[in-house]
Amino acid sequence: MVKVGSLNISPPLLNAACAWASDLDQLQALFDCPYTGAVVTRTATIEGFAEDASHTVAFATSSTTSLNSYGYSPHRLSQYLSWIESILSLAKSTANSPSKKPFIISITATQTDDMHSIVDAIQALRAQAPVYANIGVEFNTSCPNIRGSAPSGYAFTDLVPVLDVLADAWRADNTLTIGLKLPPYVYGAQFAQVFETLRGLSTSRSAEEDGSGIHPIAYVACTNTLGNALLFPEQVEGASTPFAVPTALGGVAGDTLHPLALGNVYSFARLLEAEDSTSALKNLVIVGIGGVTSAEAAERMRRAGASIVGSATLFGGEGVRAFKILSGEV
Ligand SMILES: Cc1cc2nc3c(=O)[nH]c(=O)nc-3n(C[C@H](O)[C@H](O)[C@H](O)COP(=O)(O)O)c2cc1C
């Protein structure tokens, strides 16, 4: 069991936010799976994302690698809130000791007003009954497939106003667990900038207001897909278009991403190690995501410094059986 903010994740294995955690049936299957310690939704926005035929995924034939051109979920945040409400209330009414498995709602916003609306809606559900308190939020800063919009996590200091909205929500209710989904970084100064910015976030208010030296951000999830990647149709299963995905370029994940994801986890783990023992950041949990396609790969993530491990590509190929595989039981 790993405690992240106010959430207990047991086992410390989860799905990464993805297209296969998009609708009610998929979320219910993840919730019912005994091998996941939490369910992470696909990234939701207030209005839903305008999805079309150019948004898709292809699987490589030579390794467990995916290339996807998806943006965010076409379903609105309000839809996710009502699906989660129905899954948790059904679990409560049908079991003597209902599952305490947390939901983590992946969300994103570029404007502070939108982030306010998102957090208010999530907090309204969490406040409704104790069964809904076990809901956290993951801010996706790293989708590489949004036309005309760079992944915000690559200009991390610009995120401060939106991060402040999340931090204020945590100061008002420090049972709200907040995570950040980060893009794959490729040089040291990028990791340092994330830490510097987060340090500034915790010291932007007095110690009394922050309460007990805990940081508002409970975890970082490393990493999202690596953008601007290209595969040709003969490299993937069943594509008949000139490129593996209609947009030509997409985010690569799975085995191909694994060494970079390990390096990202390792880099954050080293920064955490170097952090002063009194630092509010000291308790930051690292969720290792990227090419976790076998029990051995999950173990490598833990060796690199992850306390929790997540998977999307293997889950996309195998369904929830992926988590049995990653637990070493297949
Ligand atoms: C088809 C697909 C859809 C994805 N959608 C999201 C998403 O909505 N939000 C998000 O934060 N990450 C999304 N991701 C990225 C995954 O969460 C994960 O970070 C990435 O795929 C690396 O993990 P993997 O190697 O296990 O696939 C998606 C990945 C795939 C393959």
Residue 97 has pLDDT above 80, yes or no: no
Spell out the alpha helix ranges (H) of the chain.
24-32, 77-94, 112-128, 160-172, 188-202, 207-210, 258-274, 295-304, 313-318, 321-326
Other C-beta atoms within 10 Å of 50: how many?
A: 9
Domain count across the chain: 1
How much is the pLDDT for 206? Answer: 45
State the average pLDDT over residues 46-72. 97
Ligand 1 closest atom vs CA 140: 11
Ligand 1 closest atom vs CA 57: 1
Closest residue by Cα to atom 18, ligand 1, is: 224
Ligand 1 closest atom vs CA 66: 31
Cα of 246 from ligand 1 centre, angstroms: 18
d(CA 63, CA 91): 38
Cα of 313 from ligand 1 centre, angstroms: 7
How much is the pLDDT for 205? Answer: 53
Cα of 183 from ligand 1 centre, angstroms: 11
Model confidence pLDDT, tens digit, residues 242-277: 999 999 999 999 999 999 999 999 999 999 999 999
Q: What are the CB-based long-range contacts (under 8 Å, 24+) for 199-202? A: 199/279, 199/281, 200/160, 201/160, 201/163, 201/164, 201/167, 202/167, 202/280, 202/281
The residues lining ligand 1, judged by C-beta closer than 6 Å to any ligand atom, are: 16-19, 42-43, 57, 66, 68, 70, 72, 106, 140, 181, 224-225, 253-254, 257, 289-292, 311-313, 316
Domain span including residue 81 = 2-326
CATH of the domain at 150: 3.20.20.70
d(CA 278, CA 213): 8
Ligand 1 closest atom vs CA 225: 20
Model confidence pLDDT, tens digit, residues 155-173: 999 999 999 999 999 999 9
d(CA 91, CA 96): 9
Residue with tokens 């994940």: 253
Cα of 224 from ligand 1 centre, angstroms: 6
How much is the pLDDT for 207? Answer: 45
**Between residues 240 and 137, which one has the greater pLDDT?**
137
Q: Ligand 1, residues 18, 36, 39, 224: which to mutate, most atoms within 8 A of Cβ?
A: 18
Model confidence pLDDT, tens digit, residues 71-81: 999 999 999 99
Residue 208 has pLDDT above 50, yes or no: no
